Structure formats: C-alpha cells, structure tokens
Structure 1
Amino acid sequence: MASATASSSSSPPQPPPATTGNITNLDDDSLAHCFNDLNLHDVCNLAITCSSLKRAAYSDSTWQRLFREQWHEISLPVSGVRDMYMARHNAVQQFKFTDPMDYHIYANPEPINHLFFNKNNVFFSQGSLVHMLSLESYLNDTTINFHSMYTLRDHKARITCMRLFSLNETTLSRVQTQREQSILVTSSCDHSIRLSWEGSCLRCLRGHNGPVLSLSNKLLGDGSSKVLASGGEDGTVRLWSLSSKRGEHALKATLYGHEKPVSLMSVAGHKTSLLVSIARDSKVRVWDTASSAARSSCCVGMTSVPGTPIDMKCHESLLYVASGSSVTAIDLRTMQKVITTAVHKRKLYSFDIFPSKSLICTGSDGRAMLWDIRRNQEQLNAEAIAELDGHCGPVTLLHMDAYKIVSGGSKDEYINVWEAETGKQINSILACDNSVEYGSKIGCNGMAVKGSRIVTGVEKQANSIISFRDFQSATNVVSNMGKEQQSKFWDSMSGDNSDN
C-alpha cells in the first residue's frame, strides 16, 4: 500500500484545460470593443466570416461609432442604427439632397478641359495652362472663403491629356512622407510630356515627332521599374521609364505599327504589362511591353472596331470600346469580339462602365442609355434597360459607380443624377453657382465625380466657373422629381449628440 501511495504521489500534475486564442471565444461585449478601430470596409468583411463576428459587426455600438465618425451632428436612436447608417450612406452617395456644401471659383474665360480631383485638390486645364486648386483651408473651416491655386505654364501648346499617379511608383520621391502624394503627368501639342509635383515641373519627356495625344491610364509593369506609355500624332507608341535618374534617357522604346494618330490607351486589367492602343482609323493593337523580342514585333494582337473611337475601358481580360454608335467587347486573350453590348441610332459622345454589376452607360444626342451586359448576351439585338432623357444636346459627360449615374453636356444647364441599377432620376443639379446671372444659356464642359463630391466646369463669356459640391453633411432631401419639396428628412434626428 505504501509503495502504491508513493507512486501515486510522485505522478506529475495534470495540465490545466487547453484554451484557444480564437477571437470567436470572446463574449459579445469584448468583440464589439475589438471593432472600435475598424473602418466600414473591415466591419463588413468580418461580418461575413462567422456568426459570432456577424453579431458584433451588426451591434448598435459598432454602428453608433461609425455613424458619429461620419455625421457627428446627428443624434441617434437606441436601436436600428445600422439601417439608419446604410440609408444615410446611400443617400449621400446618390446626391439625394438640395443643400450640399458648395464652393465656386472663377477662372479665365477659356474652355475647361481634363477636369478631375484627388482628395482636396482639383486639377483642370485651359489651353496650354494647367491649374491645381487646393480646397484644404476651406474644407477644414467653411467660414474661411479661401483657396489656393497654382498655375503651370511650362507647356507651349494645348494640353491633350492629364493623368495622376502615385509618387511611390516613381523614384522622384525623396522621403517617406512624399510617397503618399501624387504626381501630375500632362501631354501637349508642343510634342512634350511633363511630370509636375507641388506646383513645379520636375521632368520633361521629349521624343514624339508631333503632338502627344494620349497617355496610359496606369503605369505599366510591376515592382520598381514602372513605365509610362504615350501615343502620338506620329502614329507611334512610346514607353518612358519613370525610374530613370537625371541625365539618363527616359525613352525606353518606340513601338511602330499604327498608321494613324494614336488617340486612346489603356493598360489591360488581367496583365499589367499589356498595353492596348487605338488609332483614329479604329485599329486596335495590343502590345506586350515586357516582351524580350524586338520592339517592332512586340505587338501581340490586332483587331478593329466600327466607327470613330470615343473611349475604352479594360476590365480583367475584356476590352470595351465605344466607337461610332455602339460599344464592342473584345477578349484580349483571343482578340475575338465577344459581343456588341450597346447600339444607338445616332453617334456616341461618351461612355462609362461598372463591370461588377455588368452595367454600361452611353451618352448620345439628348439622352444617355443604360445597358445590362448579361441581358444583351442572350439577345441578338441589344436593348437598353433605361433611357435617361432630359438633356438639351449631346451627352458628353458621364460618370458611373455602384450608386449613381451622373450625366451632362455642353448645352445643359443642369447635371442629372440617376440610380445606377434602374435609371430612375434622383436629382438635377445646376452646373454652376445659381446666384450667377447669365445673359445666354450656359452648359457644362467639364465634370469629375468621386463618392459624395462633384466638381463641374462651366465656360462663360466673362469667365469660367469651377463649382465644387460635397453632399456628405447635407440634410435637406430632394423631393421626388416633379413633386413639391419635402421637409428636412434628418430634422427629426438633428440636434446635439447623445449616446443613444
């Protein structure tokens, strides 16, 4: 017995029960606390992983925090905050308000072209001039009616194309903080390409034997050796290194094959070394810029489209080309035409696409039209799912995203906003400051849209006007089109912040 007892007492102690570090073992309050530092995108992604994370992601405390970060001036109910957030978010993205924050800037009386914006900066060209407008001071304090504007005067002829690329993709940045900024690339009829940053020209690229007409929408290649492509009136495609140092020749290759001026360029969606170019004779060429073959033979595909090319978009391995009166989809792997997705009776002036929802929008005389790619694959004759009427002339300006379609033209006083999936009209926005009196009818010749913001450019005899609007903090919901305006939708929830 004694020996048995001794044996029992000398046995090693049992380890405690094993515990796992799985986040799903936390209680709901702890999980909700873990969500405090996550943004909307992260919260939505975690909500689809498992049931316990979905409960935390859908909790009112999570959505109260997200709501206050966006709209701190609006008080919240005790429950149903997620639904309220989503309704408000959708309304803001769709411009469903009549009282956005607005700001108007007067410029020289010349046509406004190549208008776009990045963060709080607006970029546009007028003739040979490039303007960079900063709204940082005004957006930080709307009581300060102030903006700063730089004008680049380096080009000697009309600007033909403008692109914005991350400074991190070049070797021009000197410190880490600069890598988060962007560099402006412009081409001109003066045969040059210029790289500008913070109001000054850093680099001038020359090589084309005529006006430079187009620039690639993205930089080609991976890693540190990124390449810019340009197309010229001389019919050549030229590749430029943005990693070259001063004193080194930036021109890396000249690609021959087009017989007419190269008017459009785009990087393929499925392979960053593939460049698509279209000339004015509607001939399409695909180039493998990483090919080790002779530069004259790195063209890996050719085809043509009907009519004059208007615009093109690449999505994955498909190329969508708007030309003449139709939109054609081409598989870049086979260079075969997959489908004609949109057909107008008259010529096209503009085109945009939202691939994840298989939707295309086209602009023609007096109207825009919305098309479903999937529906047209099953029919011999393409049919639009909606006609977006109400324009006074050619629809030359189009924007499309997951929430809305925005359309306008050079003969339209108003910019129209439509639901992306149905084509139902949501709002109609005056293209410029409504306090300005005009002796003649005006129109919009420049537009840029991003999220809750829109910038428009209007030309007038005395001057041109840039109008900036942000619907993020708007409160007065637009009435149903054609009906009397409603009362403020958010009035019942406005007031001091509360924890409820």
Structure 2
Amino acid sequence: MAGSSRSPATSITDLNEDTVAHWAGHLSLRDVCNLAMTSSALKRLAYSDSIWQRFFREQWRQHLPSHSRGIGARELYLARHAAVRQFKFLDPFVLQFREQAKPFNQLLLRKSHLVWSQGSLLNILDLDGYLKARPDIFHTLSDHKARITCMRLFPLNEVTSLFRGEMQGEQNVLVTSSCDHSIRLWWKGSSMRCFRGHNGPVLSLSNKLLGEDSSKVLASGGEDGTIRLWSLGSSGKRGQRALKATLYGHEKPVNLMSVAGHKTSLLVTISRDSKVKVWDTGTATSSSVRTSCCVGMTSVAGTPVNMKCHETLLYVAAGSSVTAVDLRTMQKVITAAVHQPKMCSFDAFLSKYLICTGGDGRAMLWDIRRNQESLKPEPIAELDGHYGQVTSLYMDQYKIVTGGPDDAYVNVWEVDTGVQTNSLLCSSTAKDGTESGCGAMAVDGCRIATASSCENWGLVHFRDFNNATNPVRKPESEPSSKFWDSISVSDDDSDD
C-alpha cells in the first residue's frame, strides 16, 4: 500500500545475548563451531562457558573442575579432547580376549568393529553389542582356507547396491584377502561374496574404493603380479560378474597399493622389486586384459616397507629412506627421511608435514619441510626405549604409537614434540615367565587394540580412554600444562 513502511528484518545479532546464548545451548558441537565463524559477536557467544560445560558433560559424563584457575570451559574441553587421544591416563576401560596360541596376522579397529585374524581364522567382535550384552555379537569364521593377508573396512553407503534395505546406522562392510587366492566380503558375521581370479595368493587391497559414487571398485594385488578391479555390488553368490579388469605390468608380486590423494581413479602400486606404477582405473572398463591404463612408473631403492599418498605426492618408505614422488610427473621430489641401518615401519600425518619411521630399538620423527633443502635429513625427535625392531607404528594429529614383537609394551608419544605420554602393557606371558611382544596393533581415536601370542595362548587387549579420570602425572622437569593443572584438583573440590 502506498505510503506504508515495512519494518526492517530482524537478524540474529539483533537479539539480546541471553536469548542467543540460550538458543546456542541446544546446538551441536559442529553447529557451535560454525556459529563462531560467522561474526565476532557470535564468536564470543559460541565460546561462552555454559555451552562448553554442556559439551564437556555430554562427551565425558563428567563435570569440569570447579577450580580451573581462570581457564575457559572451551579451552578445557579442547585440552581434555587432546589428552584422551594422547592416552594420557592410567585408568582406561579395558577388555581382554584370550585366543589360540597362533601369531596374529591382521588387526582392525574402527568404531564398533574389532576384527583380528590368526592364520585363516577371522574373528569379528561388535564392541557396542558386547558392552550391552547382546547375543550373537562375536563371530569366529573359517571360510578362508589359508592365511589372511589384508583386511579393509568400507562404509556401507559405498556398496549400497549389495545391501539394499540394510542402511541402518553407521555400518561397515569387511573385505579380506587370503593366500587361498580369494577375496571375501563379510556382513553381519557371514561371508556374502567370494571373488576369485588371481592365479595365486592375494597380497594387498586398496585402502579406498576407486572411482565415483556410482561406479566404485576395489583393487587387489597378487602374488601373480596382476592387479584386479572388482565391483563390490555385483550380483551372483560367488561374484562371477565382479571382475571388471585385469591390469598387467608388474613382474613381481604386488605388495602395496593406495588410491591417489588428488584423483580417486588413480591407483598407486608397488611390487616386491620396488617398481612403482600408477594406473588410471577410470579407463579400465571391461574384464579384458589391460596394460594401457598405466600412466606412470618409477622405482625406489630397497625393499618396500609402506607408502602413503597425500594430494599429488606419494611418500614411499623402502630400504632405509622415505622418498616423495610427484604423481603428475613421476619425478622424485625429496628424500624426506633416512633411517639407518634399515626401516621396519612407516606412517605419516601429512597435514602437519610429519612422518615417522621405525627401526631397531627406536622410532624417529621427521619434519618434511626441514628436509626439503637438506642433503642429509635430520630427525626432530628420536623415540627411544624399545627392545628389538619397531614393526608396529601408528600416527595421527595427536600422537604416535610404537611397538614391536620383542617389546612387552607399546609406547605413546606426542606427535608435535616426541614427548612420551604413556606406556601400555600388551604382552602374553608364557608358562616359563617369558613375555611376548606386540604382534599387531590398531588405533582409532581414543581407543587402541593390541595383539600378542606366546606358546600357551594369544591375547587381544582393548583399551578405551574416553572416560578415564586418573591422568598420568607429568615429571617436574616437563613444561606445565593448563589441563593437567586444572584436573589435579582433588575430587572433593569437583562439581557433583
């Protein structure tokens, strides 16, 4: 209507702080973090103590210490979040499972799944179901007829055509390869598919599914030197129509494979003779023999240990060195680490430009940026204290975990400093009193599983630090921590 005026729209910043704070108190952690990035005023509200006190209680079922010495609730939340992921506590929740006296080949831990293999036997445990005392949550399966060589867990939503109507909650499909020449898909404690095609043991599986959402495939590498591409959603009980392509080019067994970081159709493989090849699997569309999809190759010195892709770079650990290769040109960019006399294990957290190598009696932490201009790479920290070889190594943004078959303990270190935060017993003790070390290890956030075996039995040890309350006390010589200072208050002073 002419002459009428419309009142200006009301925005969230026009509301009083108490109203916004009350509203924000019902948001999720992710939403509060997004709110903090919208404006300085909303950032102040998103950082308010009342909101982060609620997050603290909901996450750990504990109250913040009443005497926090002026430290904000958000800062204490973040410090606690880091501390549980660095295993800085003495009282984690613990489960132990006694198994047969056989070596552990593979160990997987992801969310509710704890999976381990001994020879051809596969054990699958639903941790959530176990804690809730539900029936039928532990399965020992013997479908494989020879040693299991590799295990992968893939989200159910990536193979939905295979399990239509089963999309309930966050579920995973387990894939295993074996020396019996087969690959098996497992779902709810039973083998749903068996893929055959390799002319020998299947040694490796791709760490991710290749390709786009509508046409994802799994890659496998064999003793026969071939790479096979499989459609996990193929029909037929034995997966007769699963094999999509066979890639030839390696002359020796294919030990390792990884999907490139910058292109989901690129597969990187390394054979036992240290030859590196890159394949564009998007061009392999039929089950006929394919050689033309090899788009790059190079070689490294020494026996392959492990590798990791990050964006356009490939980091290959072989012999005694870690070499970075540009996947676009296949040129060797830098030697990121040299671990003498030889390397036994390798892992990396490349968002922080950090890598770790394991050898005899110690591991070494390296900063890739420091070694770009150096002809002789130098570690930024040496992680000493192990007996024998460090063959088990894990690394994420918070911690490094190291272990080996001759050491009864796995050690935990801060990833940024190399300072040791904890040491966890993982051994099995034989009748004569001798202790076995860590045969396999898996880490998922604030949880860790280790496996060891002796002549009498095998032992799987699971620890969850999420609700631990008794912190490892720091030596007086180490730098002070606001988090440790705040939680050193006696229980009598804490909130009820």
**372-381 vs 37-46, which deviates more?**
37-46
The verdict on how the C-alpha distance between 1:198 and 1:389 changes in structure 2, with shifts beyond 3 A counting, is: same
Unaligned segments of structure 2, at least 5 residues:
478-483
**70-79 vs 220-229, which deviates more?**
70-79
* Aligned residue in 2 for 1:243: 233
Q: How does 1:85-484 map to 2 (within 5 A)?
A: 85-140=77-132, 148-170=137-159, 171-178=161-168, 180-246=170-236, 249-291=241-283, 295-432=290-427, 439-480=433-474
Query: Which residue type is aligned with residue 318 of structure 1?
Result: L
Query: Which residue type is aligned with residue 25 of structure 1?
Result: D
CA distance in 2, matches of 1:40, 1:219: 30
Please state whether the residue corresponding to 1:74 is helix, strand or coil: coil
Please state whether the residue corresponding to 1:56 is helix, strand or coil: helix
Please state whether the residue corresponding to 1:390 is helix, strand or coil: strand
CA distance in 1, matches of 2:476, 2:175: 44
* Aligned residue in 1 for 2:490: 492
The verdict on how the C-alpha distance between 1:440 and 1:356 changes in structure 2, with shifts beyond 3 A counting, is: same
Answer yes or no: is the 8 Å Cα contact 2:66–2:494 preserved in 1.
no
The verdict on how the C-alpha distance between 1:126 and 1:371 changes in structure 2, with shifts beyond 3 A counting, is: same
Please state whether the residue corresponding to 1:95 is helix, strand or coil: coil
Which of structure 1's runs of 4+ aligned residues deviate more than 6 A? 144-147
Q: Once the 2 structures are TM-superposed, how far is the Cα of residue 357 of structure 1 from its aligned partner?
A: 0.7
Q: How does 1:2-13 map to 2 (within 5 A)?
A: 12-13=2-3
Answer yes or no: is the 8 Å Cα contact 2:175–2:186 preserved in 1.
yes
- Structure 2 residue corresponding to 1:62, chosen from 29, 51, 56: 51
Deviation by residue 1:51-80 (Cα, 9 ceiling, x = unmatched): 022112110111011011012233553972
Please state whether the residue corresponding to 1:456 is helix, strand or coil: strand
Cα RMSD for the two superposed structures: 2.6
**255-264 vs 286-295, which deviates more?**
286-295
Q: Once the 2 structures are TM-superposed, how far is the Cα of residue 330 of structure 1 from its aligned partner?
A: 0.6
The verdict on how the C-alpha distance between 1:489 and 1:438 changes in structure 2, with shifts beyond 3 A counting, is: farther
- Structure 2 residue corresponding to 1:23, chosen from 1, 12, 19: 12
The verdict on how the C-alpha distance between 1:357 and 1:129 changes in structure 2, with shifts beyond 3 A counting, is: same
Deviation by residue 1:437-473 (Cα, 9 ceiling, x = unmatched): 8711320111111111111101122110111111111
* 2:76 equivalent to 1:84: yes
Answer yes or no: is the 8 Å Cα contact 1:74–1:493 preserved in 2.
no
Answer yes or no: is the 8 Å Cα contact 1:457–1:467 preserved in 2.
yes
Please state whether the residue corresponding to 2:302 is helix, strand or coil: coil
Q: Once the 2 structures are TM-superposed, how far is the Cα of residue 23 of structure 1 from its aligned partner?
A: 3.1
State the number of aligned residues. 482
TM-score (norm 1): 0.90
Please state whether the residue corresponding to 1:391 is helix, strand or coil: strand
Please state whether the residue corresponding to 1:429 is helix, strand or coil: strand
CA distance in 2, matches of 1:491, 1:146: 42
When Rg is computed on C-alpha atoms for both structures, the one with the higher figure is: 1
Q: Once the 2 structures are TM-superposed, how far is the Cα of residue 37 of structure 1 from its aligned partner?
A: 4.1
Answer yes or no: is the 8 Å Cα contact 2:428–2:452 preserved in 1.
no
**395-404 vs 290-299, which deviates more?**
290-299
Answer yes or no: is the 8 Å Cα contact 1:75–1:495 preserved in 2.
no
Query: Which residue type is aligned with residue 9 of structure 2?
Result: T
Identity fraction in percent:
60
Q: Once the 2 structures are TM-superposed, how far is the Cα of residue 331 of structure 1 from its aligned partner?
A: 0.7
Query: Which residue type is aligned with residue 381 of structure 2?
Result: A
The verdict on how the C-alpha distance between 1:437 and 1:56 changes in structure 2, with shifts beyond 3 A counting, is: farther
The verdict on how the C-alpha distance between 1:326 and 1:400 changes in structure 2, with shifts beyond 3 A counting, is: same
Answer yes or no: is the 8 Å Cα contact 2:316–2:323 preserved in 1.
yes
The verdict on how the C-alpha distance between 1:241 and 1:179 changes in structure 2, with shifts beyond 3 A counting, is: farther
Unaligned segments of structure 1, at least 5 residues:
1-10
CA distance in 2, matches of 1:199, 1:27: 55
The verdict on how the C-alpha distance between 1:292 and 1:424 changes in structure 2, with shifts beyond 3 A counting, is: closer
Q: Once the 2 structures are TM-superposed, how far is the Cα of residue 19 of structure 1 from its aligned partner?
A: 1.4
CA distance in 1, matches of 2:82, 2:491: 17
CA distance in 2, matches of 1:330, 1:437: 49
Query: Which residue type is aligned with residue 258 of structure 1?
Result: H
**288-297 vs 189-198, which deviates more?**
288-297
The verdict on how the C-alpha distance between 1:202 and 1:481 changes in structure 2, with shifts beyond 3 A counting, is: farther
The verdict on how the C-alpha distance between 1:491 and 1:466 changes in structure 2, with shifts beyond 3 A counting, is: farther
* Aligned residue in 2 for 1:35: 24
Query: Which residue type is aligned with residue 112 of structure 1?
Result: F
Q: Once the 2 structures are TM-superposed, how far is the Cα of residue 30 of structure 1 from its aligned partner?
A: 2.8
CA distance in 2, matches of 1:151, 1:437: 26
Deviation by residue 1:357-412 (Cα, 9 ceiling, x = unmatched): 10000101100000000011121211100000000010001111111111000011
CA distance in 2, matches of 1:494, 1:472: 22
Query: Which residue type is aligned with residue 452 of structure 1?
Result: C
Q: Once the 2 structures are TM-superposed, how far is the Cα of residue 17 of structure 1 from its aligned partner?
A: 2.6
CA distance in 1, matches of 2:343, 2:136: 37
Answer yes or no: is the 8 Å Cα contact 1:320–1:328 preserved in 2.
yes
Deviation by residue 1:325-353 (Cα, 9 ceiling, x = unmatched): 01111111111111110001111111110
CA distance in 1, matches of 2:441, 2:206: 20
Please state whether the residue corresponding to 2:213 is helix, strand or coil: coil
Answer yes or no: is the 8 Å Cα contact 2:65–2:493 preserved in 1.
no
Deviation by residue 1:118-169 (Cα, 9 ceiling, x = unmatched): 21221010000111022224545xxx79994201111100001111111221
**98-107 vs 385-394, which deviates more?**
98-107
* Aligned residue in 1 for 2:480: none
